[in-house]
Amino acid sequence: MSKRDGADAATVSGMSTRLASVVIEAADPSAAAEFWYVMLGGTAVPDGARGRRLVAPEIGGCDLDLVFVPAHGAKTAKNRIHVDLATESPHEYQVLTSLAADIGAHVVDVGQGPTMPWTVFQDPEGNEFCVLEPRELYTDTGPLAAVVIDSVAPARVADFWSAATGWPVVHVCEDSAALRPLDTHGPWIEFLRVPDPKRTPNRIQFDMFPTDIEDPVGWLLALGATRLSDRVLADPEGNEFNLVCEPAIDIPVRRFSR
């Protein structure tokens, strides 16, 4: 895994869908939500038949939820999508890495090398995530610094997601690209070049909400998506995402803030 060193401003105009949730498959959605509730803070609520949800306003002031749903099968390879967690000081970095290990995560080697300014973990479900050392780039994100996507062609897939979400591309180079909300708060979406194309379904996906168009599916297909089922589509590299209605959030059952 490698992280960007800079950002170049760009703009996009208009959007007809909104990025609303990161959906994470788990053998035990309740236990997975409990782990991430401790790591990120937030408000944990039921999410209907799907599982559990961490409500976004408590996660760094962004509007991106984490949703935990039953897994379709066992994890067999490194995820192509993972999350990065920000820290604000060396002390917080030490606290958060220790906390992760204390509640069931373990450090893994995915080829990152010994000198990188982050620690790579797998959560109790085996999903990779990084705890980052303090970096100015992530000072306004809240604890969820970034959602990171492996990509064969980062600039191409970033253009698709920029058009689909309305988030501008703020960095692009040969090996990476990144999006950021227009208000510069909340997590980045980062695309990092890898040599191998996607071959199996992702255990981590996005939920997208339609906003201001009668045919959001047709609009997304015109941007370069492919249709996998009635409400499930894939981006130009095959990363699945769900087109869903606004969720009915139940009464919060637990609260915690880092």
Domains of the chain (ranges; CATH) run 75-244 (3.10.180.10)
Q: Is 33 helix (H, G, I), strand (E, B) or coil?
A: helix
pLDDT at 74: 87
pLDDT digits (tens, 9 = 90+) for 187-243: 999 999 999 999 999 999 999 999 888 899 999 999 999 999 989 999 999 999 999
What pLDDT does residue 219 have? Answer: 94
Bridge partners (DSSP) listed for residue 44: 54, 254
Give the global pTM.
0.88
Rounded CA gap, 168 and 161, in Å?
Answer: 9
Residue 103, judged by CB atoms within 10 A of its CB (0-12, 13-18, 19+), counts as: middle
